Amino acid sequence: MMKRTTKTKSGSPTPGRRIEALRKKIDDIDSRILKMINRRLKLAEEIGRVKSRAGNQVIDSAREQLLLRHLADINPGPITNSALKHIYTEIIAAAREIQKPQRVAYLGPEATFTHIAAMNHFGRAGEFSSRASIPDVFNAVEKRSFNYGVVPVENSIEGAVNYTLDLFFESELKICAEIYYAISHDLLSKTASLKKIKKIYSHPHAFAQCRQWLRQHLPDADLVECSSTAEAAQRAAREAGTAAISSREAAGFYKLKVVASGIEDLSRNITRFLVIGREAVARTARDKTSIMFVTAHVPGALYRVLQPLAEADINMLKLESRPTKHENWHYFFFVDVEGHIKDPAVSDTIAKMKNLCFYLKILGSYPRADEDSPASG
C-alpha cells in the first residue's frame, strides 16, 4: 500500500493536510465561541436575578432591538445581517430561558405562519402554545397564563385582520413589538408526484394567492378550504392522494414532502404580526406608536383630529377604520405614527388629538420593525 505524501511536487502541503489544518483552527475558534456564549449567559443570568429583585420584566424589547441594530452596524462581513440576526435571536432566547422561561401563546395550530413568526421573534427556546382563535390568544395573556401573545394584524395582499383590531377596544393589553414575515407557499404531500394529487387542502387566502399556479399545474384537483394552512398540512398527512398549500416548516412538523416551492402568484406577500403583552416598552430612538380613536360623526371631524400630527411634522404610517359595532355609522380609527409616547412631541400631539375625540386609547409604543427585510418564510 502506498504511503500518502504530505506535500505536492512544489513543496506545498497536500489539499488533505491543508483542510485538516484549517479545520483545527475552526475547532479552536468554536471552543472560544462556546466559552464566550456561556460567559454571556452567566452575565444574563445575573441580570435576571437583579430584574427579579427589582420586579422588572425579563424581556426588554427595546434593549434587544438596539443590540441587533448595533451588531448590524458594526458587522464587517462576510456574515449577512440576516444570518447574524438569526444567530443572536437564539442567543437572546437562551438568555431569557436562563433568566425566566417565557410562555408565548399564538394563533395555532403548530406550523401556522403565526407560530413560525413567533419562533423567529422569540427564538426556539421559548415555550410556545397554540390557541384556536385570536380572542383565545388575548384571553390567555390577559389571564396571565402566558407572558406574551402573537397575532396577525395585516397582510400586504389581503389587508387588515379586522378581528385583531376589534379586540383592542375591550382589551387592556399593549402592543410590545411587531414582526414582518414574508409568506411563501409550498405544495406539501405524502407523494412526490403531482399526477397522484387529486385533492388540495388550504386556507382560502392561500388558495387565492396561488390561483394561477393551481390553474396551470393542477386544474382538476378538488380544492377544500381549512381554517389554517397548518390544519391543511395535518389533513394531507392523514390522506393519500391529497396535498396541502402550507409552509416549508409545516413539512417538517407533519412529515410531508415538498412537491413544489414558492407557488404563490405574487412574491411580495408580507404579513405583519403583533406581540401583545402587559408591560410598556422603553424607547429605542426608532419606534412606532399605535392609537385608536372615535371622532364625532360630523363633516371634517377626522381632518381636525389628524391635523395636530401634520402641525407637529409627525409621520403617520398607517390609517385604518373599523365600525364601532355600538352605534351605526360610527367608526374606530387606528393610526400608527413614528416615535414613542415618551417623546415629548408625540406625547403632546396625542394629547391634543384626545381633546378632539370622543374616545382615544394608546395601544402601545414599540420598536419599529424593518419592513424592507422581513423574516423569510
Neighbours of 83 (CB within 10 A): 11
| Amino acid letter, residue 84 | L
What b/e sequence results for 281-291 when a residue is b if at least 16 CB atoms lie within 10 Å of its CB, and e otherwise? bbebebbbbbb
| Amino acid letter, residue 35 | K
Report pLDDT for 297.
79
Closest Cα partner for 279 from 50, 46, 59? Answer: 59
Report pLDDT for 101.
66
SS3 7: strand
Cell of 150: 402573537
Report pLDDT for 312.
96
Report pLDDT for 213.
96
Concatenating the DSSP letter of every residue in 264-285 gives -S-S--EEEEEEEESS-----S
Question: One digit per residue, pLDDT tens: the chain, 377 residues?
Answer: 444 545 555 567 788 888 989 999 999 999 999 999 999 888 887 887 776 666 556 567 778 888 888 999 999 989 999 899 889 888 887 887 777 667 899 998 889 999 999 998 887 767 899 999 999 999 999 999 999 999 999 988 778 888 899 999 889 999 999 999 998 999 999 998 999 999 999 999 899 999 999 999 999 999 999 989 999 999 999 999 999 999 999 999 999 999 999 999 987 789 999 999 998 898 988 999 999 999 887 888 999 999 999 999 999 999 999 887 666 667 889 999 999 999 999 999 999 999 999 899 999 999 998 776 566 55
Cell of 284: 429605542
Report pLDDT for 7.
55
Distance between start and end Cα atoms, the chain: 52
Closest Cα partner for 88 from 101, 74, 100? Answer: 74
Whether 30-96 shares its CATH topology with 186-260 is answered: no
Residue carrying the nine cell digits 403583533 = 274
Query: Which option is the CATH number for 30-96: 2.60.40.1930, 3.30.870.10, 3.40.50.2300, 1.20.59.10?
Result: 1.20.59.10
Query: CATH homologous superfamily of domain 186-260?
Result: Periplasmic binding protein-like II (3.40.190.10)
Report pLDDT for 93.
78
Architecture category of domain 101-183+270-275 in CATH: 3-Layer(aba) Sandwich (3.40)
* Structure-derived torsion over alpha carbons of residues 127, 149, 155, 318, reported in degrees to the nearest 10: -140
Distance, CA of 341 to CA of 189 (rounded, Å):
48
Report pLDDT for 372.
62
Domain boundaries along the sequence of the chain: 30-96, 101-183+270-275, 186-260, 281-367
Tell the CATH topology of 281-367.
Alpha-Beta Plaits (3.30.70)
Report pLDDT for 355.
94
